[in-house]
Amino acid sequence: MTAPVTARWSHVGLNCADQDATEEFYTRWFGFRRARVIEDDDVRVVFLRSGDVYLELFRSANPPLLTSGDDGPDHPGIARHLAFQVDDVDAFWREAEGELTLSLGPLAFDSVIPGWKTIWVTDPDGVVVEVSQGYRDQTPAELAAYS
């Protein structure tokens, strides 16, 4: 018997109308930095990195297929949103208000997890980005109720 293949997270590829605007959004608000640029013929791909997470930015002249709102599109095969954790959603929003577009929230989920609070904003291309605080995994005992 062979050992199972272990996969680890690599990246999310995003199509962008304006790579520079998208890069600025993720570097300014979510701490990404440019890790690599690949140019070949008329293709330019910008890799952004934050820890072990990468975003791969592709230029696209095509219009968006879906308009998204609230917490993201609900179509199968389409990612609903990207998500980031912060220590304080209210502090994040105080800094971002007027500069980012709020699509939903702030919402508190104290009935599920005390202290869990979330807002959703959109990036320059309309991708919904969740920003939350206070999420935690369920314990093994809590998860056992769903088996």
| Number of domains comprising the chain | 2
Q: Is 127 exposed, middle or buried (0-12, 13-18, 19+ CB in 10 A)?
A: buried
Percent residues over pLDDT 90 in the chain: 74
Q: Are residues 22 and 57 in the same domain?
A: yes
Q: Which two tokens stand for residue 62?
A: 């095509």
Q: Give 42-50's long-range contacts (Cβ < 8 A, gap of 24+).
A: 44/19, 46/19, 47/11, 48/23
Query: Which strand ranges, in their side-by-side order, compose the sheet holding 82-85?
Result: 82-85, 128-133, 117-122, 101-108
**Position 84 in a domain:** yes
**Position 70 in a domain:** no
pLDDT given for residue 54 in this prediction: 96
pLDDT given for residue 68 in this prediction: 60
Q: Are residues 56 and 98 in the same domain?
A: no
User: Residue 99: which H helix or E strand, with range?
Assistant: none
CA distance 14 to 47: 10
The pLDDT mean for the chain works out to: 91
Check: pTM over 0.85? Answer yes or no: yes
pLDDT given for residue 78 in this prediction: 80
pLDDT given for residue 49 in this prediction: 97
Residue 73 has pLDDT above 90, yes or no: no
In this prediction, residue 67 has a pLDDT band, given cuts at 50, 70 and 90, of low
Average pLDDT over residues 42-62: 93
The SS3 assignment for 12 reads strand
Residue 1 has pLDDT above 80, yes or no: no
CA distance 47 to 27: 11
Q: Are residues 99 and 57 in the same domain?
A: no
CATH number for the domain including 108? 3.30.720.110
Residue 69 has pLDDT above 90, yes or no: no
Q: Are residues 19 and 56 in the same domain?
A: yes
pLDDT in tens, 84-98: 999 999 999 999 989
